[in-house]
Structure 1
Amino acid sequence: MVYMKQPKGFEDSLHPHHVCHLRKAIYGLHQAPRQWYTTFSNYLLKLVFQHSKSDPSLLTLCTGTSKIFLLVYVDGILVTGNDEAAITVFLNKLHNTFALKHLGDANHFLGIKIQKHQDTYFLSQYTYASSIIQQSKLTHCNSAANPSCTKLPTDVPIDPNLDDPSLYRKLTGALQYLTITRPDIAYAVNNLSQHMHDPQPIHLHLLKKLLRYIKGTSHFGLPISKSDLCLRTYSDADWASNPVTRKSTSGYCSFLGNTLVSWVVKKQSTVSRSSTESEYRALAAATADTIWLKRLLADFHIDHNHYVELHCDNTSAIALANNPVFHARTKHIEIDYRFLRENLNNNHIRLLPIKTVDQLVDLLMKPLSTPRFKMLRDKLTIIPDPFVCGGY
């Protein structure tokens, strides 16, 4: 049973000292997660933890050579550090204050399966992906090698299992969470999400193909391997890719050593008048994400003082960024222009040209042929579960 004080403004005048007996679980209250986070974080602050300046869900404790990092998401808590004895003492303090359950080494967190082998981790969402396939009633369908179509069919057959618009919205919303460990489906999910208000038969056809692709690759995920701690970023844009609004699509991804740590595919908020402008806006967005990653590394006490290599395949955008003269024709993108120039001058980033054939971000922004899609998927380190395939 759960009890709580009478809410302010709704006290019973006849029984002002009575408490309320909750008939619903505490999670039924809208303010419950916020109150829990406030209570828990205030307790950690008393233990000399510090809030991360980059991520409000990350708290750090550094005392001498001992470092503890804590990640909290509602009632899910992940603790790590370099001193096992200090972590044990900290966990004992938590158990004495809160009713927590210690689940041992991390193997599942927020639906993400975490597998460890020596110095390598593997993140996947096999169970979550399988549940989506079951909801769509496609457990016995044939798998597809590509999540997108380079050429849309003229005559689309209607699938009775997916002809409900509410099911389309439910599955598409669920697929958005799957992109946490599956950037290879980011473009397809982004495209489907833009038609949730009024899905047409062609969108239902694309959803089914994406689900068939997930059916055959549900055991795919992202490896985290031990390597150098140098950031490098790839940025690209698909100019006027939306046939209705003619807005461009931005895409960028960042690697920390050999590990893919960040990726974004997003439709730009304004219409670009040239491919150079759309590429420049994507560069500015990638730069902002890169600066955030450097600040996040600083919270882990990792100094990344040298510049970050930012790869772009548009020579005009690179020339514009390196040109110190501000032209009137770039006045409408002045903020992005000055932001990128400032980070270039401060040696936070360094723009490097890259061939279009080597541009990794193409997988995040446009439908590709199956051979090229698989090649870029391998370069983005999206691989099958190595434990299923016989180990590393």
Structure 2
Amino acid sequence: MEIPPGFEVQNERNKVCLLKKALYGLEQSPRAWFGRFTKAMVSLGYKQSQGDHTLFIKHSSTGKLTLLVVYVDDMIGKLKYFLGIEVAYSKNGIFISQRKYVLDLLKETGKQGCRTSTVPIEQNHKIGSEESVPVEKAQYQRLVGKLIYLSHTRPDIAYAVSVVSQFMHDPRERHMQAIDKILQYLKSSPEKGLLFKREDTLTMKIYTDADYAGSITRKSTSGYCVFLGDSLVTWRSKKQYRVSCSSAEAEFRALARGMCETLWMKIILDDLKVKVDNPVQLYCDNKSAMSIAHNPIHDRTKHIEIDRHFIKDNLDRGFVITTHVPTELQIADIFTKGLPQGRFQDLVGKLGMIDIHLPT
């Protein structure tokens, strides 16, 4: 940045201008603009959501609701296509997908004519830090970034994308082969997406699971998914930061992360004045982890004491109740490991993923 013409001071090379307000292009300018925008919205009667500060809500005296989400300074209107996400409306609800995004990705990578795969990642894969041939880091990182964005509407690839994203610092040929597997799977189902159904009453359900010591480093993978009514609204697949000493501990850590997501969702829904039946149903397939959640004193879990007290507090105040679910009915299993074709396709159906282009 240079001093504007006419404001230069002769023979003063060590002087700088004092900035009185944010200028376009400075690092702090977007934040300053958003702060001013927030004050303007509040003055107009909008309330800033505590769960998402870019969401502004206004409830009128006549019962009307106005929702304003700030992403850019453009008015979009009724959403049909936004940043690669396609939105369709019907009497059954709202359907979101990224069909064009998938097709463009296949074209970019030269996979339009590739053979297809019924799963995005192999069962019992052993993908870790490899000694195989290095691949171009920038290209690998770009592809993983695109897949991460795609996983925002494609929970069926969430686990596979979580795996390949762990090697962006030093990608190898084996890791690129794993990306190719994901692309082959996408080739078989580019139109798949999520349907948010119209429902009269809403219950919140959360499934949490963990794959104990499933990675080569023996760290476990947490997975959870949250349903509002019969619609999947949020999900996550993530390798745990620490090695767990037992399957119960791994499941317990996943349970805590899932409960954090549920609390955040409850804040958003309260801001929107959306009534949800209480308590939240939390489904876990590990009885030992559920026992730890209800037991306030346990010598073997002192190292996860914060998680334990956090979960126990929410159980005691009646926000959530835990229910044991058989492993074969554990939907979050799809976010923790590679699965055989039959099991994988069954869980994809339970996630509520459909292809609206297929004949019914």
Q: 1:205 maps to what in 2?
A: 177
Q: Say whether the 8 Å CA contact 1:312–1:351 is kept in structure 2.
A: yes
Q: Distance in 1 between matches of 2:150 and 2:307?
A: 31
Pick closer, same or farther for the CA change 1:248–1:151 going to 2, 3 Å. Answer: closer
Q: Say whether the 8 Å CA contact 1:36–1:74 is kept in structure 2.
A: no
Q: Distance in 1 between matches of 2:80 and 2:159?
A: 28
Q: 1:74 maps to what in 2?
A: 72
Q: Say whether the 8 Å CA contact 2:202–2:275 is kept in structure 1.
A: no
Shift of 1:72: 1.3
- Paired AA for residue 337 in structure 2: K
Q: 1:46 maps to what in 2?
A: 43
2:56 to 24, 46, 59: 59
Pick closer, same or farther for the CA change 1:192–1:127 going to 2, 3 Å. Answer: same
Q: SS state of the match for residue 73, structure 1?
A: coil
Superposition map of 1:237-248 within 5 A: 237-244=210-217, 246-248=218-220
Superposition map of 1:311-390 within 5 A: 311-324=283-296, 326-384=297-355, 386=356, 388-390=357-359
Q: Does the alignment pair 1:121 with 2:94?
A: yes
Q: Say whether the 8 Å CA contact 1:313–1:359 is kept in structure 2.
A: yes
- Paired AA for residue 389 in structure 1: L
Pick closer, same or farther for the CA change 1:68–1:152 going to 2, 3 Å. Answer: closer
Superposition map of 1:282-293 within 5 A: 282-293=254-265
Shift of 1:382: 1.3
Shift of 1:272: 0.9
- Paired AA for residue 195 in structure 2: P
What is the RMSD of the two structures over their aligned residues, measured on CA atoms?
Answer: 2.5
- Paired AA for residue 111 in structure 1: G
Q: Distance in 2 between matches of 1:116 and 1:211?
A: 28
Q: Distance in 2 between matches of 1:53 and 1:372?
A: 39
Shift of 1:312: 0.2
Shift of 1:166: 2.4
Q: Does the alignment pair 1:193 with 2:190?
A: no
Q: Does the alignment pair 1:107 with 2:107?
A: no
Shift of 1:29: 5.3
Pick closer, same or farther for the CA change 1:5–1:382 going to 2, 3 Å. Answer: farther
Shift of 1:305: 5.9
- Paired AA for residue 164 in structure 1: E
Superposition map of 1:209-228 within 5 A: 209-227=181-199, 228=201
Pick closer, same or farther for the CA change 1:322–1:363 going to 2, 3 Å. Answer: same
- Paired AA for residue 63 in structure 1: S
Shift of 1:145: 1.2
Q: Say whether the 8 Å CA contact 2:55–2:70 is kept in structure 1.
A: yes
Q: SS state of the match for residue 180, structure 1?
A: coil
Pick closer, same or farther for the CA change 1:39–1:333 going to 2, 3 Å. Answer: same
Greater length-normalized contact order (CA 8 Å, ≥ 6 residues apart): 2
Q: SS state of the match for residue 215, structure 2?
A: coil
Pick closer, same or farther for the CA change 1:6–1:383 going to 2, 3 Å. Answer: farther
Shift of 1:213: 0.9
Shift of 1:152: 4.8
Offset from partner CA, 1:242-268 (integer Å, 9 cap, x none)? 212x21111110000011011011111
Q: 1:131 maps to what in 2?
A: 104
Offset from partner CA, 1:249-290 (integer Å, 9 cap, x none)? 111100000110110111111111111111111111111111
- Paired AA for residue 70 in structure 1: L
Q: Say whether the 8 Å CA contact 2:206–2:282 is kept in structure 1.
A: yes
Shift of 1:143: 1.7
Pick closer, same or farther for the CA change 1:305–1:379 going to 2, 3 Å. Answer: closer
Shift of 1:120: 1.1
Ranges in structure 2 where 5+ consecutive residues have no aligned partner = 11-23, 128-132
Q: 1:265 maps to what in 2?
A: 237
Offset from partner CA, 1:134-186 (integer Å, 9 cap, x none)? 221112212211101115599xxxxx9x9533212110111100011001000
Q: Say whether the 8 Å CA contact 1:315–1:353 is kept in structure 2.
A: yes
Shift of 1:32: 4.7
- Report the TM-score when normalising by structure 1: 0.81
Q: Does the alignment pair 1:145 with 2:118?
A: yes
Pick closer, same or farther for the CA change 1:105–1:74 going to 2, 3 Å. Answer: closer
Q: Distance in 2 between matches of 1:271 and 1:58?
A: 37
Pick closer, same or farther for the CA change 1:266–1:151 going to 2, 3 Å. Answer: closer
Q: Distance in 2 between matches of 1:31 and 1:213?
A: 42
Q: SS state of the match for residue 361, structure 1?
A: helix
How many pairs are equivalent?
339
- Paired AA for residue 89 in structure 2: K
- Paired AA for residue 276 in structure 1: A
Q: SS state of the match for residue 241, structure 2?
A: coil
Shift of 1:119: 4.1
Percent of residue pairs bearing the same amino acid type: 38
Offset from partner CA, 1:104-157 (integer Å, 9 cap, x none)? 421012321110012411001112222221221112212211101115599xxx
Ranges in structure 1 where 5+ consecutive residues have no aligned partner = 15-25, 76-99, 155-159
